[in-house]
Amino acid sequence: MTEADFTFLRLLLQQRSGLSLTADKQYLAESRLGILCRRRGIADITTLIARLRSAREPALENAVVDAMTTNETLFFRDRTPFDLFRDVILPERLAANAATRSLRIWCAAVSSGQEAYSLAMLIDEAAARLQGWKIDIVGTDISSEILEKARSGSYSQFEIQRGLPIQMLLKHFEQRGDKWQVSERLRRMVEFRRHNLLERNDHLGRFDVIFCRNVLIYFDVPTKVKALELLAPRLAPDGALLLGAAETVLGLATSFACDPEHRGLYRLPGPALRARPAASPPDGLARKERLAGWSA
Amino acid sequence: MKYCLVVDDSAVIRKVARRILEGLQFRIAEAEDGARAIDACKGEMPDAVLLDWNMPIMDGYEFLRTLRQMPGGKRPKVVFCTTENDIAHIARAMHAGADEYIMKPFDKEIVASKFHQVGLL
Out of A170, A294, A295, name the one closest to residue B94 (CB): A170
Residue B15 lies inside a defined structural domain of this protein: yes
Q: By the CB < 8 Å criterion, does B95 face chain A?
A: no
Measured distance CA(A80)–CA(A121) in Å, rounded: 15
User: What domains are there in chain A, each with its CATH number?
Assistant: 3-69 (1.10.155.10), 80-274 (3.40.50.150)
The pLDDT, as a whole number, for residue A289 is 45
Render pLDDT for B51-71 as a digit per residue (tens, 0 to 9): 999 999 999 999 999 999 999
Strands B26-31 and B2-7, by their bridges, are parallel
Element (H, E) at B22: helix B11-23
Cβ atoms of A151 and A113 closer than 8 Å: yes
Q: What residues 132-191 of chain A have any CB closer than 8 A to a CB of chain B?
A: 157-158, 161-163, 165-167, 169-170, 175
Question: Do A165 and B103 make contact, defined as CB atoms within 8 angstroms?
Answer: no
Residue B53 lies inside a defined structural domain of this protein: yes
Scored b (16 or more CB within 10 A) or e, A200-229 reads ebeeeeebbbbbbbbbbebbeeebbbebbe
The pLDDT averaged over each successive group of 10 residues in chain B (121 residues) is: 97 95 97 98 98 96 98 98 96 97 92 94 91
Residue B120 lies inside a defined structural domain of this protein: no
Q: Which domain holds residue B44?
A: 2-115
Q: Say whether B43 sits in a helix, a strand or coil.
A: helix
Question: Do B91 and A170 make contact, defined as CB atoms within 8 angstroms?
Answer: yes
Domain of B71, CATH number, reads 3.40.50.2300
Note down pLDDT in tens along chain A; length 296 residues. Answer: 899 999 999 999 888 888 888 888 888 899 889 988 988 889 999 999 999 999 888 888 888 888 887 666 789 988 899 999 999 999 999 999 999 999 999 999 999 999 999 999 999 999 999 999 999 999 999 988 889 999 999 999 989 998 999 999 999 999 999 999 999 999 999 999 999 999 999 999 999 999 999 888 778 888 899 999 999 999 999 999 999 888 888 888 688 999 989 988 999 987 555 555 544 444 544 444 444 444 33
Out of A158, A163, A295, name the one closest to residue B119 (CB): A295
Residue B72 lies inside a defined structural domain of this protein: yes
Cβ atoms of A139 and A211 closer than 8 Å: no
Radius of gyration of chain B, Cα coordinates, nearest whole angstrom? 13
Render pLDDT for A240-296 as a digit per residue (tens, 0 to 9): 999 988 888 888 868 899 998 998 899 998 755 555 554 444 454 444 444 444 433
Residue B29 lies inside a defined structural domain of this protein: yes
Q: How many domains does chain B have?
A: 1
Residue B58 lies inside a defined structural domain of this protein: yes
The angle at the Cα of A59, spanning A53 to A65, to the nearest 5 degrees, equals 75
Residue B121 lies inside a defined structural domain of this protein: no
- Cα→Cα distances B110→A171, A293, B83, Å: 20, 19, 14
Chain B residue with minimum CA distance to A159: B110
> How close is the nearest chain B Cα to the Cα of A118, in Å?
15
Residue B32 lies inside a defined structural domain of this protein: yes
Q: By the CB < 8 Å criterion, does B101 face chain A?
A: yes
Measured distance CA(A123)–CA(A121) in Å, rounded: 5
